[in-house]
Chains A and B, each alone.
Chain A
Amino acid sequence: MPTVHFFDTPHEIYWGLLIALYFYYTGMSAGSFILTSLGTVFGIEKYKKVSKVGVLMAIVLLAFAPLHLLFDLAQPGRFYNLFLHVNLTSAMSWGVYLLILYPVDLVIYAWYLFRQDFVQGLNKGGFKAGLYSFLLFGKKDMSPAALANDKKKAKFFGTLGVPLALLVHGYTGFILGNVQGRAIWHTPLMPIIFIMSAMVSGTGLFIIVMMLVEKFKFGRIGEDIRSLIADIANLMKWFIVVDGALMIIYFIVLWYSSETGYAAGYFLLHQEGWSFLGLENGLGMLVPFLILLSKKARQSLPLVTLASVLTIIGVLAMRINLVIGGQKLPLTGSKIVEYSVSGRDLSIGLGIGILALVVLTWLYSVLPMNRPGVQEKESIPVSKGVAQ
């Protein structure tokens, strides 16, 4: 039956690019932390080599993530209200505390990982020695008991970090999943999908960051790291399998859920098809999965890099498709709600991204990244990493 709507009242999408980027950053922080905690927390020896690289990345990503939220507020000056008033029924209110506990835990964990290297770096002189001396807070004890304590404390705070990482990203899944009014969000799978896709993108970004750190801190990517990358690539393959399976389950149940759920599924396949099928699931999941299937490809740095870049793009597309795509489906009226990213949001997003990159690069260049068996080469100017 033909139906014509008059007087369509326009509605706006308020959660745009910045919210999608926030979910993206916390995801990669949680993903990279959980991956690199495999060494310290789960005792898988070879991952201990990269715990420091991973924890710095997780801290910086998480430190910059909430800035997106701050700039998205219509009243940014009132953000402190989030601490003054708690609403236990609001997933966003849970997040406020997780966004503090998680990075604080990570910083303590990182301190115990780095302490020994700070002490050893004191004799280097110059700015670095001054920085290390400050960061040590006077705890220069290098007795076997103190070293054992470092190890114990690192394990404790690292172990605490794993559930916190799961929660800090899982809660964002609840933010969307708890909204009954939007079938596309309202699924119990949402927190799990967020965590699994975070494992994929966190691993992808970590591989790239680790290779860059190796190259610029040690001059070349060592054999041990090459073989570790092959292992991590294999893990990433399995993360993609789980994430992909969850997406398929999510989609099938969405298709059979309700009138609005079916329409949402139709929307993802058709109007959002290039982004949902093409970018998110094709280029972002299927292609990297196919690449990583081959053992030879997993041992090839260029192919692993390619797969990693694709997963990073794919998960960004997933965040955008869910957050913004979910709001394009109208709740009243008769038209798709249009969204176009504002110049302000785009510049803020890019600005935060560049700032995070600069801070991370600086941290990697001034902090001692020694790992078991490999010492930094003093002759290599580490700052080159920024320019290239």
Chain B
Amino acid sequence: MGKRYAMVIDLRKCVGCHACTVACKSENNVPLGVNRSWVEELETGKFPNVSRHRLPRLCNHCENPSCLNVCPVKATYQLEDGTVLVDYDRCIGCGYCIAACPYDARFINPERNTAEKCTYCHERVEAGLQPACVNTCVAGARIFGDKNDPTSEVFKLLTTQSVAVSKPETNNRPQTYYIGADEKSLRPNLLKIVGGEK
């Protein structure tokens, strides 16, 4: 099997410092108001029975990416290692990929005027480095690597731990695997948001 990059995020280690969000912005010159990676944080329960959960989000570099399927000009493409990228010179900025991504991973870069998202810091990975968010994580909660390589940390975690992905039902087959994710953080509680749940 060829190389297939994936990310495992061990939420038992995540402290919610948002250093990944900041490192990503800094590494990729992401303008204010938009994010390639961010951390959702929520608190459940009532004192004294409470818990706090975090969910770092980024592009899932899916096996079957909705964004790639809907792009009318094939500006979004996928490398053999699974990385999903956008050709900024070809993108017409129609916004279809943004509407189709189930993970809110994409946005229009207000300076470049094209669709944009996490690239797994492709230029760093090419140079043998880790993505900026992985590199900066104080707790080592983000683990990046080749999930087909039996010696990789990602492979070991995926085979020995129970993991969850966000919204598997959409058939995107996302490649960000969470360890210890709270079910409430993996998808929005829509019924509550629309006022249907007290």
Residues of A within 8 A of B (CB): 1-12, 14-15, 69, 72-76, 78-79, 81-82, 84-87, 89-93, 95-96, 175, 178-182, 258-260, 262-264, 266-267, 270-271, 327, 329-336
- Which of chain B's residues have a CB closer than 8 A to the CB of A6? 41-43
Closest chain B CB from A175 CB (angstroms): 7
B157 within 8 A of A: no
Query: Number of contacting residues on B, CB 8 A?
Result: 56
Is B140 on the interface with A (CB-CB < 8 A)? no
Chain A residue nearest in CB terms to B96: A92
Q: A6-B42, A9-B40, A263-B190 are in contact. List 11 more A-B contacts (CB 8 A).
A: A9-B35, A75-B113, A87-B69, A89-B70, A90-B72, A92-B96, A93-B73, A260-B187, A270-B195, A329-B193, A330-B104
Task: Check B92–A90 contact: CB distance below 8 A.
Answer: no
CB distance from A39 to the nearest CB of B (A): 36
Contact A73 B190, CB 8 Å, known A1-B44, A14-B108, A263-B196: no
Known contacts A87-B73, A179-B70; A332/B99 CB under 8 A: no
Q: Are B190 and A259 within 8 A (Cβ)?
A: yes
| Interface residue B9 (Cβ < 8 Å from any Cβ of A) | no
| Interface contact B113-A179, CB-CB below 8 Å | no
Instruction: Answer whether residue B94 sits at the interface, using C-beta atoms and an 8 A cutoff.
Output: yes
10 contacts between A and B (CB under 8 A): A74-B93, A74-B113, A84-B73, A85-B75, A87-B74, A90-B69, A90-B96, A92-B94, A178-B70, A179-B70
Residue of B nearest to A179 (CB): B100
Q: A14-B98, A82-B73, A90-B70 are in contact. Are A3 and B194 (CB under 8 A)?
A: no
A104 CB, min distance to chain B CBs, angstroms = 20
Most buried by A among B39, B91, B172, B188: B188
CA distance A73 to B75 in the complex (A): 14
Q: Output the nearest chain A residue to B35 by Cβ-Cβ distance.
A: A9
